[in-house]
Amino acid sequence: MINIKETKKEFILELLNKDIYKVLDLGCGEMLLSKAFLKNNSFVKGIDIKEPLEIPEGAVFVKGNFFQEEFEKDYDLIIASLILHLTKKEFTPKLIQKIQDSTAKNGYNFLILLSNKDSLSTEERFYPSMSEIMEFYPGSEWKLIKSLEDETEPEQHGNAQTPDNIPHTHHLIFAIFQKQ
């Protein structure tokens, strides 16, 4: 069973040991994942349709839609955490392609996804299996650096389908890929 906070920390620690100077955090929320890279003097940009309550000191925040915003092509790390299930499945391949095209050679993509085993999984949205993700990241172009797939500990947090007061679990995939 995954403790989300601990697992996020573990994956971020793995990335903090790499040569990462330029970070893009898509659907960044409060920039909780990407702000760790500010300590390394990395350039950190977050894009979200909603402004964070507080922009971490030194970070760049762009209020915008990641489908419409232009990305520069030289990011050492692009984070896509809990965003790929939010829109219709037909739009996902183009967004993943955009993420990959905007990643520098030897750069990384860090994905956190709700999987096909998640209770909210539907056919219309992107709730992939690990093997589906691997199809997007073929071994000839991307190296899988670290991955984990498991159910989370029960947590209370609200969303459209689950009221705040009911503890529930999710089924997540964490994956770091490096561009070859």
Give the residues lining the site for ligand SAM (CB under 6 A): 27-29, 32, 47-50, 65-67, 81-83, 86
Nearer to ligand SAM, 119 or 180 (CB): 119
Nearer to ligand SAM, 124 or 135 (CB): 124
Distance in Å, CB of 36 to ligand SAM, minimum: 12
Distance in Å, CB of 38 to ligand SAM, minimum: 16
Distance in Å, CB of 171 to ligand SAM, minimum: 15
Distance (Å, whole) CA 107 – CA 171: 27
Nearer to ligand SAM, 48 or 76 (CB): 48
Nearer to ligand SAM, 94 or 143 (CB): 94
- Which residue in the shown chain puts its C-beta closest to ligand SAM? 27
Distance in Å, CB of 140 to ligand SAM, minimum: 29
